[in-house]
């Protein structure tokens, strides 16, 4: 009776563990703890004495018990790390851990994408200031550098609280496009693309830095992946209780507009280096303030051409 009491105590300890544990004798099941019984939907009285492959129905686990070591596999929608030790098979649920690692990689990709623009702006300013410039031009470069430095500082501060919309205020679309045009000018010139801006007098209630990030990403995509030489139209269009911020290029219709809003996805005409995070970031920002982001092929009678339109709604 003392032995039975001890065995019962050991079983209670094993039942309290979060890992799924199968005790066995040369591949024949002796005991499954609570986590293992719930994972494989089997009770001890039906499993005891049977071979592991009969109970778990996974030949990879049967081989793991025989050869030792560890492996990862998917069971019941959960990601498990299974280890074989003498007399025991231990399976740990690492679903949340793996998800956290995936989210961390995604956050790092977003950060690298968001940091690229202000860093490039600051680098351009510093390179220009190496030369002997007229005082007015030098002051302009310094102001632009300070503006991008403050934006970079706010991005760093956002890292401590996640990606959230902050500093909501009334923003003139003209102010946002003015900042964007300065930052986009080198790429516009390099790709021989003309930028037209419409609806500059539109007033929005938004986070100016996030809105700038949206405008830059939309415009950069059109500049890089649209026809060049070419023309793109950046405009704000009030509509009921929202304003649509859109960029229209002269490109051919795409087969699938939705897929390129997913992380690490790029359009069929994408060339060279790119993280495939631009449109994903746009949608993430838009959804955070209650808006939407979408792409479509549009024949706009108010424009001299038709093409791909990517747009974001900003609720009022």
HEC secondary structure over 239-284: ECCEEEEEEECCCCCCCCCCHHHCCCCCCCCCCCCCCCCHHHHHHH
Task: Tell me, yes or no, if the two domains 2-93 and 96-163 fold the same way.
Answer: no
The pLDDT of 137-160, averaged and rounded, is 74
How much of the chain, in percent, has pLDDT values that exceed 70? Answer: 87
Residue 69 has pLDDT above 60, yes or no: yes
User: What CATH code is assigned to 168-315?
Assistant: 3.30.565.10
**CATH architecture of the region 96-163:** Orthogonal Bundle (1.10)
CA separation (Å) from 18 to 64, 79, 83, 197? 21, 14, 14, 59
pLDDT at 312 (0 to 100): 94
Going by pLDDT thresholds of 50, 70 and 90, the confidence category of residue 153 is confident
162: helix, coil or strand? coil
145: helix, coil or strand? helix
pLDDT at 267 (0 to 100): 57
pLDDT at 126 (0 to 100): 87
The pLDDT of 221-234, averaged and rounded, is 88
pLDDT at 162 (0 to 100): 45
Count of residues for the chain? 316
Among all chains, which residue has been given the structure tokens 């002269």?
250
pLDDT: which is higher, 186 or 295: 295
The pLDDT of 106-121, averaged and rounded, is 75
How many whole angstroms separate alpha carbon 189 and alpha carbon 191? 6
Going by pLDDT thresholds of 50, 70 and 90, the confidence category of residue 5 is very low
110: helix, coil or strand? helix
The pLDDT of 275-290, averaged and rounded, is 78
Task: Specify the long-range contacts of residues 156-159, CB closer than 8 Å, at least 24 apart.
Answer: 159/111
Domain boundaries, the chain: 2-93, 96-163, 168-315
> In the numeric block, which tokens belong to residue 18?
């979060």
Q: pLDDT tens, 44-60?
A: 999 999 998 898 888 88
Q: pLDDT tens, 170-205?
A: 889 999 999 888 888 888 888 899 999 999 999 988
Going by pLDDT thresholds of 50, 70 and 90, the confidence category of residue 161 is very low
The pLDDT of 123-136, averaged and rounded, is 86
Taking a C-beta distance cutoff of 8 angstroms, is the pair 234, 195 a contact?
yes
How many whole angstroms separate alpha carbon 204 and alpha carbon 313? 11
pLDDT: which is higher, 146 or 263: 146
**pTM, rounded to two decimals:** 0.54
Taking a C-beta distance cutoff of 8 angstroms, is the pair 55, 45 a contact?
no
194: helix, coil or strand? strand
Going by pLDDT thresholds of 50, 70 and 90, the confidence category of residue 264 is low
The pLDDT of 199-222, averaged and rounded, is 88
pLDDT at 272 (0 to 100): 45
Residue 73 has pLDDT above 60, yes or no: yes
How many whole angstroms separate alpha carbon 217 and alpha carbon 226? 13
The pLDDT of 133-159, averaged and rounded, is 77
Residue 169 has pLDDT above 90, yes or no: no
pLDDT: which is higher, 273 or 225: 225
Q: Is the previous residue joined to 177 through a cis bond, with omega within 30 degrees of 0?
A: no
The class that CATH gives domain 2-93 is: alpha beta
How many whole angstroms separate alpha carbon 266 and alpha carbon 279? 9
Q: What single-letter DSSP state applies at residue 94?
A: -
Among all chains, which residue has been given the structure tokens 């009491």?
5
Taking a C-beta distance cutoff of 8 angstroms, is the pair 220, 242 a contact?
no
User: Which residue(s) pair with 139 in the sheet?
Assistant: none
């Amino acid at each position: 009776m003392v032995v039975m009491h001890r065995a019962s105590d050991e079983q209670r300890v094993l039942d309290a563990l979060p890992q799924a544990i199968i005790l066995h004798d040369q591949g024949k099941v002796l005991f499954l703890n609570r986590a293992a019984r719930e994972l494989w939907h089997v009770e001890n009285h039906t499993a005891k004495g049977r071979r592991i492959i009969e109970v778990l129905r996974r030949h990879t686990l049967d081989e793991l018990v025989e050869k030792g070591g560890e492996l990862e596999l998917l069971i019941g929608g959960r990601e498990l790390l299974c280890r074989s030790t003498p007399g025991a098979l231990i399976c740990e649920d690492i679903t949340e851990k793996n998800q956290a690692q995936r989210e961390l990689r995604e956050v790092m990709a977003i950060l690298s994408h968001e940091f690229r623009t202000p860093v490039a702006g600051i680098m351009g300013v510093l390179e220009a200031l190496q030369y002997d410039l007229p005082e007015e031009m030098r002051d302009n470069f310094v102001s632009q550098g300070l503006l991008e430095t403050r934006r970079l500082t706010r991005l760093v501060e956002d890292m401590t609280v996640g990606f959230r919309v902050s500093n909501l205020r009334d923003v003139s679309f003209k102010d946002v496009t003015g900042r964007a045009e300065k930052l986009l000018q080198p790429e516009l010139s390099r790709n021989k693309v003309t930028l037209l801006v419409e609806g500059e007098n539109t007033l929005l209630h938004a986070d100016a830095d996030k809105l700038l990030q949206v405008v830059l990403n939309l415009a950069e995509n059109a500049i890089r992946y649209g026809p060049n030489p070419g023309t793109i139209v950046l405009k704000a269009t009030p509509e009921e209780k929202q304003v649509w911020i859109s960029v229209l290029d002269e490109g051919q219709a795409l087969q699938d507009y939705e897929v390129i809003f997913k992380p690490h996805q790029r359009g069929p005409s994408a060339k060279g280096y790119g993280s495939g995070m631009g449109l994903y970031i746009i949608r993430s920002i838009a959804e955070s303030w209650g808006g939407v982001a979408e792409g479509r092929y549009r024949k706009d009678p108010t424009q001299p051409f038709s093409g791909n339109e990517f747009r974001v709604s900003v609720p009022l």
